[in-house]
Structure 1
């Protein structure tokens, strides 16, 4: 690893660049009404499914990515994923064949799934400690900003035609070039050689070490996605229920909140230095405050501020991925990150059903009730992380006291 220049801006830029379009499959959601008119022989559900097909493919290929990495290595797997993303992304620009468009959307999701895990694991391969946390925070921020920029650009291109909106996926081209140059073959070889002994040793550890914190963190990420999706799915109905004025500002409020959340997430390394193992507790507290503010907002300004606070909970991603990389043996790291990513997507998919089921248990109805349930989910996550933080802090203190006793 000594031969790898960890301070290289080109290396960092190359690795961070692959997050730009990772979650941009929904950037073209604005095309749905126009496509529904053109494909009038298709049901509205079939047309809307064009936006969700990539998510299904992504979940499948996130799990398969570890196999591709074992066969081809991370560099080739990432480049393959980016190339598939480009092909699947721009294909609807050239065709009006509905089946081909469906297949292309699946290819886009498959490509994103292949390199999804590497957005975090490549950082863990090279950096550790504070530098790793800083870069994980920036990675999450780049992902969110990339989605916002792609959505904005697709909206402008939509003014030409729905076909033109898919031009946004040409952004894959500079990403491929930047990554290929920044993370070159010699860098990959140096990292592989340095990790070879560590991975061989970790095969033995894999049988005996139970990464409790990592497993709990992954489970909490699943619950978190159940809890955070109502910000997007229920807030529109909630402001109608609250009869706020200027309700059309909601989409702008969500965009502002997303960008602000990305900027806050980029500061994750500094925030972790302050709160240490209590960082996720602080994050969930922000989420509770955000939901409380939304529920009691008197106007759209208060709602926007509350959404900004709620969006700051995206800080949880670098914490969870960091916990996974710290606690899981090197040989299992890629697979563990894949599982975490799948749980994230599955949690988002199940969110409406989980909220409805919980509401049914307690006999609650309405969008505001959904937001209250989501807030309770965040409280639960915060309590779990609080218990883990106390246990981990006490364990560290015990180890330190034992070390001092031995020295004396």
Structure 2
């Protein structure tokens, strides 16, 4: 079979690549079903129920560092399609089973799928684009990510009315990028017949330096704290009596929409303030958390979520722009995977980690946990302002 010509500048090719990012933040959105799952499984603790929403981020770690090797062996496109298949099967399976252990296994399977395709959602952009075009695509990548999160949030707000099983059926959205990648994306040197790829010209030590490891640690903390906004929203509504789980999903969808709009402005804002975009983002996110934690109405909660979402819209593209600035030129998918590993570690253990740390400081209820996260982001902002004053790295 002859290889199709690649036109990386075509809108269909770009849309297909960006479709991978539609799924990036959808797994934790199922947290809106937590209150129903607690009722369904009364012998399971609430902390364990909360863990369901982030379990895929844990199993991501088993494959994310090996995604490139698997892609080299079996073909990048085949690897991506297989990962999307695992995501869809693992996502939907809880809708048709009644065993809690099987639900756990399905969520882990879903994460394995994400671990196969998610590194390529960014690394393929490094492969096909550079300069200002790369900045633009990274901004669009975050836009797609937040569009998927927002759209999925609105979908779940409707599906959850039919019960938690119906909500899990929403993960059929995995078929959208699967079909688009299958039909419209051709990757040069991809192994259509599974032949052995040329051996990689770098090893782990060459692909990952101290800056990359520190960035991975930073974003581990960032995503652990930020995800608490998603995990705790339904419980926050229940504790305060301000809104229902269905309303919580709609509120969280506004977070995704706000981040999506902000991501569209990432390239021009980054051009003006450079790497200071990160401490500015942390400052805004902290403000959003403080507003939500002290909210006395649905409008105030929504306002705080929107503020946090706007500034979070710049965090993800800036993370990978910094990778391009401080990472080795030949780092490839492995360097991207290390950053994603930090992000997914933070997301996977967000609930137990943040609950435990905030509890030691006396922040025990949901509003207290959100307040603690606000202080955490404010602290990160201070350190980042200081770092950027002395940092001499130029924009990539």
The interval holding the TM-score normalised by the smaller chain is: 0.7 to 0.9
Shift in Å, 1:76: 1.8
Counterpart of 2:106 (choices 99, 104, 125) is 104
Whether contact under 8 Å (2:58, 2:345) holds in the other structure is no
For 1:125, the equivalent position in structure 2 comes to 127
Counterpart of 2:288 (choices 287, 290, 311) is 290
Shift in Å, 1:353: 4.7
Q: Which moved more, 1:225-234 or 1:108-117?
A: 225-234
Whether contact under 8 Å (2:87, 2:109) holds in the other structure is yes
Whether contact under 8 Å (1:223, 1:381) holds in the other structure is no
Shift in Å, 1:96: 4.8
What is the 5 A alignment of 1:130-141? 130-141=132-143
**Separation in 2 of the partners of 1:354 and 1:105?**
20
Deviations 1:314-356 (A, max 9, x none): 3111111221134322443322222222211222344445545
Counterpart of 1:68 (choices 61, 67, 70) is 70
Q: Which moved more, 1:376-385 or 1:99-108?
A: 99-108
Q: Which moved more, 1:116-125 or 1:254-263?
A: 254-263
**Separation in 1 of the partners of 2:180 and 2:284?**
35
Shift in Å, 1:92: 4.2
For 1:7, the equivalent position in structure 2 comes to 9
Deviations 1:24-48 (A, max 9, x none): 23444555666677777x6466766
**Separation in 2 of the partners of 1:361 and 1:49?**
20
Whether contact under 8 Å (1:226, 1:374) holds in the other structure is no
**Separation in 2 of the partners of 1:284 and 1:314?**
11
Shift in Å, 1:87: 2.6
User: TM-score, normalization: structure 2?
Assistant: 0.80
User: TM-score, normalization: structure 1?
Assistant: 0.78
Shift in Å, 1:238: 6.9
For 2:115, the equivalent position in structure 1 comes to 113
Deviations 1:107-143 (A, max 9, x none): 2221111111111111111112222122112212222
Whether contact under 8 Å (1:15, 1:179) holds in the other structure is yes
**Separation in 2 of the partners of 1:39 and 1:290?**
33
Task: Name the CA shift for 1:39/1:14 in 2 (closer, same or farther; >3 Å).
Answer: same
Whether contact under 8 Å (1:213, 1:388) holds in the other structure is no
For 1:149, the equivalent position in structure 2 comes to 151
Whether contact under 8 Å (1:324, 1:333) holds in the other structure is no
For 2:83, the equivalent position in structure 1 comes to 81
**Separation in 2 of the partners of 1:360 and 1:35?**
24
Whether contact under 8 Å (1:54, 1:110) holds in the other structure is yes
Whether contact under 8 Å (1:92, 1:104) holds in the other structure is yes
For 2:221, the equivalent position in structure 1 comes to 223
* Structure 2: unaligned runs, 5 residues or longer: 192-197
What is the 5 A alignment of 1:241-256? 246-248=242-244, 251-256=249-254
What is the 5 A alignment of 1:377-396? 377-393=376-392
For 1:320, the equivalent position in structure 2 comes to 319
For 1:311, the equivalent position in structure 2 comes to 309
* Structure 1: unaligned runs, 5 residues or longer: 190-195, 398-408
Shift in Å, 1:205: 11
Deviations 1:162-206 (A, max 9, x none): 5444442332223212112332144858xxxxxx89x74xx4996
**Cα RMSD after superposing both structures:** 3.7
Greater per-residue helix proportion: 1
> SS of the counterpart of 1:229?
helix
Shift in Å, 1:272: 0.8
For 2:195, the equivalent position in structure 1 comes to none
Deviations 1:268-289 (A, max 9, x none): 1122112112111221121233
Structure with larger Rg = 1
**Separation in 2 of the partners of 1:252 and 1:170?**
19
Task: Name the CA shift for 1:83/1:295 in 2 (closer, same or farther; >3 Å).
Answer: closer
Asked if 1:376 is matched to 2:375, the reply is yes
Q: How many residues align?
A: 382
Task: Name the CA shift for 1:32/1:350 in 2 (closer, same or farther; >3 Å).
Answer: closer
